[in-house]
Structure 1
């Protein structure tokens, strides 16, 4: 697993994309980078709207590429305790927000979130490598990965 800590500022979204892209298998790169961008943007927005000062607590970004089959798990941890909302059924054409969870559901093979014992939450997305056989009865990504790099 590779981990990066970034300040909760808008520029960190692009930094996370540029950092993660070379770590990813080519057949998953575009989908993973798009979902990672969305998770980062949400983490930055939540950190800002909950009144935390920029830089008060970093956002954690994790990338895990399974060496056995090329499956990828990405996770973003933020200091917000707000749960992940359910995905909307429809979004108005002119709306500025509301498509992130739809993207997550469309591009990731599985996703979810979990609260962290030290506060905040970890939102993850799992992508199956197209060349690998489907996983059968394997652990879910949140169980297979540690709950963050900085929170022990």
Structure 2
């Protein structure tokens, strides 16, 4: 498990993408980095009191935690973004207008991750995604771990 703590500012998204790209296997790197970018952008925009944040936003200043778990057996990669908001993850919209500037993040999450969800935390919530990798020759295939089991208590154990 590898963790990164970031301030809730837009520049954190690019920093997290660069950090994660160094950790991830080639076969899932692009998908995981794209989903990370979307989840972190949502956390910065909606969960920290940034302009346009919805009701229940926690207010700025609290760090956002990014956790990446690469299964040593090669079977999966788990990603979690924890923010200070206790607001549940909304359902993904069925469609987004072609000219819309935003609104596709949860659609991308649905399309790219094999499993995903959110888990309440003592201070906020963690949005997680699980990416299964192609079968690795020495992996026994019995590591059928689902997202919440992989993304246990977070980096700080909260």
Q: Same fold (TM over 0.5)?
A: yes
1:108 is matched with which residue: 93, 101, 113? 113
Any idea what the Cα deviations from partners look like across 1:68-93, whole Å, max 9, x if unmatched?
12410010000011111111111111
Match of 1:19 in 2: 19
Structure 2 residue runs of 5 or longer lacking an equivalent are none
Match of 2:30 in 1: 30
Match of 1:43 in 2: 43
Aligned length: 149
Structure 1 residue runs of 5 or longer lacking an equivalent are none
Distance 1:130 1:119, change over 3 A: same
Distance 1:90 1:128, change over 3 A: same
Instruction: Please say if residues 58 and 84 of structure 2, whose CA atoms lie closer than 8 Å, have aligned partners that are also in contact.
Output: no
Q: Secondary structure at the match of 2:126?
A: strand
Instruction: Please say if residues 128 and 134 of structure 1, whose CA atoms lie closer than 8 Å, have aligned partners that are also in contact.
Output: no
Q: Compute the TM-score of the two structures, normalised by the length of structure 2.
A: 0.87
1:72 is matched with which residue: 71, 74, 77? 77
Mapping 1:1-152, distance limit 5 Å:
1-46=1-46, 47=48, 48=50, 49=53, 50=57, 52-53=59-60, 56-116=61-121, 118-132=122-136, 138-152=144-158
Measure, in 2, the Cα distance between the counterparts of 1:90 and 1:143.
31
Measure, in 1, the Cα distance between the counterparts of 2:78 and 2:128.
7
Q: Cα RMSD (Å) of the superposition?
A: 1.8
